[in-house]
Amino acid sequence: MLIHGHLVKGNDIDKETRCLHYHTEIDRIAIKFYCCDTYFPCFSCHEAEGCDTPQVWPVAQFHKKAVLCGSCGYELSVNEYLSCESSCPSCKSAFNPGCSLHKHLYFEV
């Protein structure tokens, strides 16, 4: 599905990147997976429809754009995302703070 001009793959995605697995009001980001350079709403969507070799973003690449705000389409670098305090720096929409519990699935920690 195209969201703000970016291809986002996953299961039952809405216009703000919510998916079958995460679909509350504040679940509105997609993460570009390092291994396949493709946006997915979550790790489970990537497991279902992504590549066969999941890899996390290495610290040396944290300056790259890797997180998409589903509300406005702003792309955050990994550094921006990890320091944004669960809101988009562009439109101020809230992100799910619980996502930080899963950061090891996406980013080198």
* Burial class for 85, CB neighbours closer than 10 Å (0-12, 13-18, 19+): exposed
The count of domains in the chain is 1
Q: Are 12 and 21 within 8 A, CB to CB? A: no
Q: Which domain holds residue 31?
A: 2-105
- How does pLDDT run along the chain (109 residues), one tens digit per residue? 999 999 999 999 999 999 999 999 999 999 999 999 999 999 999 999 988 899 999 999 999 999 999 999 999 999 999 999 999 999 999 999 999 999 999 999 9
